[in-house]
Amino acid sequence: MFFVAVLLMGAAGLFGLAADTITHKENKVIQEINFSPVHCFNKPLEKLVIRPDFIGCIIGEDLPLGESAIVESTERPKDLHPQVLARFLSAQAAAKEVGIEMHIDSGYRTIETQNYLFQRAIKEHKTPEEAIKWVLPGDLSRHPWGLALDVNLHHEKSGASWLEANGATFGLCRVYENEWWHFEPLIAPGGICPPLLPDASQVK
């Protein structure tokens, strides 16, 4: 048993801080290893890597995806949220491996641009009530928060279909029944996307 204990302690050593407890009893060694996975886009490998939390994403090599739904920050951003970009890059790389092309056709927008698009939609759809099902005004849309992606709207639809089927792995979800191209970081990577909302007028 001593030899087994030494082996397990050696393994615990390899896991570093992961060995929370090693309890020695007369004839028994109990080892508990607890760690939470951390999702990172590894730039050299161009793929999602999952590391234990005691290592975390590696600065300069990895882009963190974040480990929860991504919500509005306290300040208005000037670009796409970096964790949303890391999620998309991870998904894009995985899609590429199976021969599927994915592009961000529209991500971050200024509030002014979003309001312009809303006004244009009112002209197109005749009423604000109808327009809001397709384009939200600047203060309601998550595009100006850098938290929404329109994927393959001007490209082959298969990229967005692939993301709808596989995006949860990367924390990206399709949101609306009437917009196959619109994705948001509604969940933690590896979570389960909520049911689709009928359209953008349902946004809270």
DSSP letters of 85-125?
HHHHHHHHHHHHHTT----EEE----HHHHHHHHHHHHHHH
Please work out the total of residues on this chain that contact Zn ion, with binding judged by CB under 5 A.
3
Residue 60 to residue 51: CA distance in whole angstroms: 15
CB of residue 182 to Zn ion, shortest distance in Å: 4
CB of residue 150 to Zn ion, shortest distance in Å: 4
Binding to Zn ion by residue 150, rule CB under 5 A?
Answer: yes
CB of residue 90 to Zn ion, shortest distance in Å: 20
Binding to Zn ion by residue 174, rule CB under 5 A?
Answer: no
Binding characters for Zn ion, 176-195, by CB under 5 A (x = yes): ------x-------------
Helices (H), 146-192: 158-166
CB of residue 142 to Zn ion, shortest distance in Å: 8
H or E element, residue 4: helix 2-14
By C-beta, is 40 or 148 nearer to Zn ion? 148
Residue 23 to residue 26: CA distance in whole angstroms: 10
Which residues are near Zn ion by CB under 5 A? Answer: 148, 150, 182
